Each structure stands twice: as C-alpha cells, then as structure tokens.
Amino acid sequence: MPSPHPHARGEIPERHWPKPEGEVGPPQAASLDELRAQAEVCRRCPLWRDATRTVFGEGPRDAGAVFVGEQPGDQEDLAGKPFVGPAGRVFDQILETAGIERDKVYVTNAVKHFKFEPRGKRRIHSKPNAGEIQACRWWMGQELDLIGPDIVVALGATAAQSLLGKAVPVTKMRGRTFEREDGVRVFVTIHPSFILRIRDSADKEAERERFLDDMKAVKKLMA
Ligand code: URA
C-alpha cells in the first residue's frame, strides 16, 4: 500500500491547500518549481487521497513542445515522474527515432494523481472522470502559461478533452492541429499505451509507424 498522503497524515496545514475551482486559489506561480510545490498539496478533487503523491510535469521552461498524457500510472505514482513506466518506454523510443530529445521537451499529464482500483496487491488503472479532468486543468493551464510552447501534444482522449474542452474522437482527429481561442496550438494523437495494447505484431508495428509519423510532424511544428 502507498504511504498516506501528507494531508491524510495531518502534516500539511489546511491553510496551505489550494482551494477548489471558483474560489480564490494560491497566487499565480512565478516559476514551474513554485507551481510544482503548490500542486504537491492539491486537493481540488479527491484523487489525492489514495495516490502516493502528485506527479507534476517535467522539463525545461523554454521547451518548444509540451506533451500531455492522461494521468500517472502505477510506476509514475511511485517514482514521482511522468512517463517512466511501460508507456513511457514506448514514448521515449519513438521520440528518439523522430529526433526529439526528451529532456528538451516538457512532459506532463492532464490529471496529476494516479486513479486506480485496488485488486489484491495490484493497483489497476482507472480512467479519470470529467470532473477530475476539469479540476486538474487549473495546473495544466498554468504550466502552459509559464512555458508558452510552440506546440502542445495531446496524447490520447483524456489529454485532448482537457486541452480542447470537449470530447475528441482521437483516432479520427489524430495528426491534426487545433488552434484554441487563446492561441495555443494543440496537436492530437494517440496515447502510447494504445500501441502496447495491440496484440497482433503487424498491427502493432503499423501503429508504431503511424505514431512515429505523428512525432515527426510535431518536430516540424517545434520552432
Ligand atoms: N500514462 C500517462 O498518461 N501518463 C504517464 O505519466 C504514464 C502513463
């Protein structure tokens, strides 16, 4: 079992907890480090209760591209870093083949706590709901404001929903760039875990190629 969250242990006084949407929250952070520290004690939705920790985004403030996944998985929850588990390995390999250096881009998630169902000793991934996605947009909005990337990449449906504010049919829309009212450009593609779930090896390889093509297109969109 993960150790209880610092809130649950009573180590973080309530006055330091960010307030739910609609109320006055903490002041606008001046840096990603400050924002990360604020997010560590987030209770904007109930997911903090069972997760080990907030898994915040990672990467340089001057990143040309921000990649947004769904939520941390089991390994990310334990490590405190995004995309370090099986989906992260697929992501890393394909980024490298496309000529994108992972440590030069910013990688984050639409939802920053691991949502799961306990099954025996295992923790099974559970999809975040619309309320949880909405509550966590607060953090991603500020990450994007601070970084101001050339392109934001939605990896899968949850990220696309969070970034575009509506449900998006990802397999139909993949490879397309949408410009939001605030000028942020969002490139939509699949989540790398989709490749992991394909059983047929020829189909898996074809999907890897399609994802590689998408990553090459993203590289061109980075200034
Ligand atoms: N899947 C995600 O969407 N994000 C991660 O960080 C890991 C797996």
Express each pLDDT in 81-135 by its tens digit: 999 999 999 999 999 999 999 999 999 999 999 999 999 999 999 999 999 999 9
Please say if the pLDDT value at position 37 is more than 60.
Answer: yes
Q: What is the mean pLDDT of the chain?
A: 91
C-alpha 63 to ligand 1 mean position (Å): 19
Please say if the pLDDT value at position 139 is more than 70.
Answer: yes
Parse the chain into domains and list their residue ranges.
29-221
Amino acid letter, residue 29: A
Which residues, other chains included, contact 126 with Cβ-Cβ below 8 Å and sequence gap of 6+? Answer: 115, 116, 117
- What pLDDT is recorded for position 36? 97
Express each pLDDT in 1-13 by its tens digit: 445 444 444 444 4
**Locate tokens 């987030």: which residue?**
42
C-alpha 19 to ligand 1 mean position (Å): 25
Mean predicted confidence (pLDDT) in 12-16: 40
Class of the CATH domain delimited by 29-221:
alpha beta
State whether the beta carbon of 77 lies less than 6 angstroms from ligand 1.
Answer: no
State whether the beta carbon of 57 lies less than 6 angstroms from ligand 1.
Answer: no
Express each pLDDT in 106-120 by its tens digit: 999 999 999 999 999
Express each pLDDT in 152-195 by its tens digit: 999 999 999 999 999 999 999 999 999 999 999 999 999 999 99
Amino acid letter, residue 166: K
Contact between 114 and 3 under an 8 Å Cβ cutoff? The reply is no
